[in-house]
Chain A
Amino acid sequence: MDQFTLNIIVVGATFALYIGIAIWARAGSTSEFYAAGRGVHPVVNGMATGADWMSAASFISMAGIIAFGGYNTSAYLMGWTGGYVLLAMLLAPYLRKFGKFTVPEFVGDRFYSQTARTVAVICLVVASLTYVIGQMTGVGVAFSRFLEVDNLTGLLIGAAIVFFYAVIGGMKGITYTQVAQYVVLIIAYTIPAIFIALQLTGTPIPAIGLFSDTTTQIAGVPAGQPMLATLEQLVTDLGFGSYLAQTDTTLNLFLFTMTLMIGTAGLPHVIVRFFTVPTVKDARFSAGWALVFIALLYLTAPAVGAMARLNVIDTFWPNGLNAEAVSVEEIETSDELAWVRNWEKTGLLTFEDANGNGTIEYRSGEGNELDVNRDIMVLANPEIANLPGWVIALVAAGGLAAALSTAAGLLMAIASAVSHDLIKSQINPNISEKNELLAARISMGVAIVVATILGANPPGFAAQTVALAFGLAAASIFPALMMGIFSKRINNKGAVAGMIAGLLVTLVYIFLHKGWFFIQGTNSFTDADPLLFSIKSTSFGAVGALVNFAVAYVVSNATDEPPVEIQELVENIRIPSGAGAAVDH
């Protein structure tokens, strides 16, 4: 059976599974649609949160970024996991106790202000929509590589699948589909990693292999040395930057990690997951289980990155850096090097025998004859290690599962903000439950169409928009929620002023470095030479959050205390008992 047929069978089978689950779990009430009826077990919810959280960026890009960035990319690992500690202790239990459906609803009630609620909706929609565009682009790319259709067709198939199960099932359908998607993506990620860890270090656990000795000769470096020392020696001998040393400034590394952590805790599609569990106790455990399932991938990713880098170097310098590099003839004929030919077709890997000596030499700077796009690392990994065809098909299904599950979660957050926080609360408060459900489904449909159109014509700033989504969530949503719970003194004026200040200062800083509204050439600074010290635009969300906290504190203290009933509300959400009763809106 050829690879294409295998891909179709494996990807088709997983899609049939997702649709089957959607039909089984379709939502009948607004409670089921927005919060899965609050009947989701914490372990199940943790798994769904894992799939929701881990996007195409985690699955496809992260290991490749680590492979080429080494220590400096640790911010992704610490940032995207450490945020769950903040969620578990500072937000999730209290928001569950509050017992409503959406993040803007909490902001509006706690700060007794429709303005605050509307500002929260704007923050949520901007952050989620920018994030979802990247996911839809990822779906298109994964389809076009593995199903051999063009980018647009792939994107439309993906959009149709998401539309079907998210619109029919609501949060309930999404939750159970995400459980299936988690299982698919984690198997797809770890199986190739286990094979490769066994090949290089003799241990089946990649996270242990990363810090173990090699059991095989790699690019002329004899076996029996620590794997990371081998890698460090090879990359520095080839003229690349050190894998182990810090080359970024401490200030930027610190702020980037902090931005990713706070952004994680402030992303609305993750927060709403904690509204779906039965009790406050379950909300605490659910955050822990989510991190267990996320850590399975995040502990494997740095190993995948390091091992992939070693395998690439070994492929092109099979007999060591001082011996002859791999020959052009071998690349064009050898079965073991078929992956080089396959990926050359996509244009993401290119080589040229520039000096005409019949070999391809891979090094940094002058004399380099190979160019590898870091995004292909995870997808190409099973081929590089010569793993069987079904593993390759599984990785395709895993990448799609990661992108689709995150897209569905984000679309759900957008749809509920529009139907529940704008239509129901401000435009037509007397809307019936049936019509509110219809409005939610229509707004989700619109959000999918918008995301598909933008995903088909990506404005060419996928990486920037993801950074923007995190920066926005960090600077606007997280501080408002945290102050709403931990302070009784922050009032409506303080919260609105804080959110707007945090949002604006972060947006302006990003636009100053990336161009106003991302229009090229309108930027005054670059990330290589930023405005403030060494703070890159991607790291500014933490500063924006600080501005938010400070402005909210000053404005609140200069104006009236919140009314007594609001102070009672805050006291009430701090105590777990009685959460079950508070489901009505």
Chain B
Amino acid sequence: MAIQSDKNAYWSANKRIIGISLVIWFLCSFGFGILLRPALSGIIVGGTDLGFWFAQQGSILVFLILIFAYAFRMNKLDREYGVDE
């Protein structure tokens, strides 16, 4: 693991996973919950629209999944590159 190209590849892979995660993070909070809410207003959930559900409940559930998915994915990446502890 002392090889520089390996370190760079590990860091690039990490940044790619973070990038994908943050796109989902943004989409499910700022996107569906705020900016895209008018576009989703036709979808009814429990007496209100999908955007309201994302703003008050859905986004939090997605955040939870994202953090654990990231932790598991990174543990796998650590092992692949031999940088785990």
Interface residues of A (CB under 8 A from B): 71, 74, 77-78, 81-82, 84-85, 88-90, 93, 207, 210-213, 225-230, 232, 244, 246, 250, 253-254, 257-258, 279-281, 284-285, 287-288, 291-292, 295, 298-299, 302, 571, 574-580
- Check A250/B34 contact, CB under 8 A, given A90-B18, A284-B70: yes
- Check A577/B35 contact, CB under 8 A, given A84-B63, A284-B70: no
Is B40 an interface position by the 8 A CB rule? no
The reply to whether B25 and A85 contact each other, CB–CB distance below 8 Å, is yes
Contacts A281-B84, A281-B85 known; list 10 others, CB within 8 Å: A74-B56, A81-B59, A90-B18, A210-B46, A210-B57, A211-B46, A212-B46, A281-B75, A281-B78, A576-B85
Residues of B within 8 A of A226 (CB): 46-48
Over the window 53-80 of chain B, the binary record of Cβ atoms lying under 8 Å from chain A Cβ atoms (1 yes, 0 no) is 1011101110110111011001100100
Partner of A291, one of B25, B45, B67: B67
Q: With the chains together, A280 CA to B61 CA distance in Å? A: 24
Residues of A within 8 A of B10 (CB): 574-575
The reply to whether B85 and A74 contact each other, CB–CB distance below 8 Å, is no
The reply to whether A246 and B30 contact each other, CB–CB distance below 8 Å, is no
6 contacting pairs across A/B (C-beta < 8 A)? A77-B56, A82-B29, A89-B70, A228-B46, A254-B35, A257-B30
- Check A88/B64 contact, CB under 8 A, given A279-B85, A577-B83: no
Q: Which residue of B lies closest to A486 (CB)?
A: B15
Q: With the chains together, A225 CA to B47 CA distance in Å? A: 8
The reply to whether A81 and B47 contact each other, CB–CB distance below 8 Å, is no
- Check A71/B57 contact, CB under 8 A, given A89-B22, A281-B71, A284-B74: no
- Check A295/B34 contact, CB under 8 A, given A74-B55, A211-B46: no
The reply to whether B78 and A287 contact each other, CB–CB distance below 8 Å, is no
Residues of A within 8 A of B63 (CB): 81-82, 84-85, 291, 295
Q: With the chains together, A225 CA to B48 CA distance in Å? A: 12
Q: With the chains together, A496 CA to B52 CA distance in Å? A: 41
- Check A71/B55 contact, CB under 8 A, given A78-B60, A82-B63, A229-B47: yes
Shortest beta-carbon distance, A351 to chain B, in Å?
Answer: 30
Residues of B within 8 A of A253 (CB): 34
Q: With the chains together, A364 CA to B16 CA distance in Å? A: 51
Is B1 an interface position by the 8 A CB rule? yes
The reply to whether B35 and A88 contact each other, CB–CB distance below 8 Å, is no
Shortest beta-carbon distance, B56 to chain A, in Å?
Answer: 4
Residues of A within 8 A of B60 (CB): 77-78, 81, 295, 298-299
Q: With the chains together, A71 CA to B34 CA distance in Å? A: 10
Residues of B within 8 A of A90 (CB): 18
Residues of B within 8 A of A230 (CB): 47
Give the secondary structure class of A's interface: helix
Residues of A within 8 A of B21 (CB): 85, 89
Residues of B within 8 A of A84 (CB): 63, 67
Residues of A within 8 A of B30 (CB): 254, 257-258
| Chain A CB within 10 A, most for which of B25, B37, B70, B82 | B70
Shortest beta-carbon distance, A208 to chain B, in Å?
Answer: 9
Q: Which residue of B lies closest to A77 (CB)?
A: B56
Shortest beta-carbon distance, A549 to chain B, in Å?
Answer: 15
Over the window 1-15 of chain B, the binary record of Cβ atoms lying under 8 Å from chain A Cβ atoms (1 yes, 0 no) is 100000100110010
Q: Which residue of A lies closest to B49 (CB)?
A: A244
Shortest beta-carbon distance, A560 to chain B, in Å?
Answer: 23
Partner of B83, one of A77, A81, A288, A576: A576
Residues of A within 8 A of B25 (CB): 82, 85
Residues of B within 8 A of A580 (CB): 85
Residues of A within 8 A of B67 (CB): 84-85, 88-89, 284, 287-288, 291
Give the 7 A-B residue pairs with the shortest CB-CB distance, closest first. A226-B47, A211-B46, A229-B47, A74-B55, A284-B71, A228-B47, A288-B67
Partner of B71, one of A82, A288, A292: A288
The reply to whether A577 and B84 contact each other, CB–CB distance below 8 Å, is yes
Shortest beta-carbon distance, A200 to chain B, in Å?
Answer: 13
Q: With the chains together, A360 CA to B84 CA distance in Å? A: 67
Residues of B within 8 A of A246 (CB): 37
The reply to whether B64 and A295 contact each other, CB–CB distance below 8 Å, is yes
The reply to whether A288 and B46 contact each other, CB–CB distance below 8 Å, is no
The reply to whether B48 and A228 contact each other, CB–CB distance below 8 Å, is yes
Q: Which residue of B lies closest to A281 (CB)?
A: B75
Q: Which residue of A lies closest to B46 (CB)?
A: A211
Q: With the chains together, A284 CA to B78 CA distance in Å? A: 12
Q: With the chains together, A71 CA to B68 CA distance in Å? A: 28
Q: With the chains together, A367 CA to B83 CA distance in Å? A: 69
Shortest beta-carbon distance, B45 to chain A, in Å?
Answer: 6
Q: Which residue of A lies closest to B75 (CB)?
A: A281
Over the window 31-43 of chain B, the binary record of Cβ atoms lying under 8 Å from chain A Cβ atoms (1 yes, 0 no) is 0011101000000
Shortest beta-carbon distance, A432 to chain B, in Å?
Answer: 31
Shortest beta-carbon distance, B59 to chain A, in Å?
Answer: 5
The reply to whether B29 and A78 contact each other, CB–CB distance below 8 Å, is yes
Q: With the chains together, A81 CA to B18 CA distance in Å? A: 17
Residues of B within 8 A of A74 (CB): 33, 52, 55-56
The reply to whether A302 and B56 contact each other, CB–CB distance below 8 Å, is yes
Shortest beta-carbon distance, A62 to chain B, in Å?
Answer: 12
Q: With the chains together, A444 CA to B45 CA distance in Å? A: 49
Shortest beta-carbon distance, A564 to chain B, in Å?
Answer: 13
The reply to whether A574 and B48 contact each other, CB–CB distance below 8 Å, is no
Shortest beta-carbon distance, A91 to chain B, in Å?
Answer: 11
Q: Which residue of A lies closest to B85 (CB)?
A: A279
Residues of B within 8 A of A302 (CB): 56-57
Residues of A within 8 A of B14 (CB): 574
Residues of B within 8 A of A228 (CB): 46-48, 52
